[in-house]
Structure 1
């Protein structure tokens, strides 16, 4: 008898590319069209979007409005035992960025003060706008709340994350 493979959704490439597209589509520019997404911010935002209970703690520390989280999202193994690898696994993120770039979904520009700033192309925005079903609906809500942290520096974001890691969820 063959065993069925167990697929971890959070490790599935297309799922992760979808989340990254949504983050880039919503958070790459401020309301004044200033590009703000560096690789460090993308990594922090990705980490927070995929861990809503953790995101709420960071929002609380930043004195921002928290989100209502379903029990399904709060009481998970990931919440109880936070895997911080995503905060430090730059290779994984760079691989996803390369994939989006190779499909012409990603644009980047260089700033002397901040380094590379990322955004979606029109083709990337078109694809991101189609991600509306299933868990992507929830991800969009999490990203909407995350936009209140858009102006924070990467070091400030990491400070909030480190504080929550020390305190625990």
Structure 2
């Protein structure tokens, strides 16, 4: 009976919800600069997960990689970034540099370390006009939906990127 109860508790503790809770705690307590480092910290806590699972968790938790004062990058919860901003100004206001179209596609340049966060913001707020984004460190590939004009893309982005031209 005790073994069965222990097994049930173990299964609960290793669920996705619990893993997400621990990921948040790990990020708040440590400066995590890579997925490998985060994976190792989670394995040390008893989790068995793959890099692919961790990547999905990072996306689901809206974790972003941000520059530090030391010039390196660390993972943070996006809510943490928003709490650091004055007057709830969108993150894109700080990191956006430029946008340029090539055919139907657009390339957005950002300050180093801001592309993933801004791409996430675009994916959440412009779903009617934007099919999706692909982000690097300082560059975002923006893919509009079919039959959406450049003007519609720019108008949808200008709602939360006030300095877009």
TM superposition score category, shorter chain reference: 0.3 to 0.5
TM-score (norm 1): 0.35
Q: Which has the higher helix share?
A: 1
Q: Which has the higher strand share?
A: 2
Tell me: higher relative CO, structure 1 or 2? Use CA pairs within 8 A at least 6 residues apart. 1
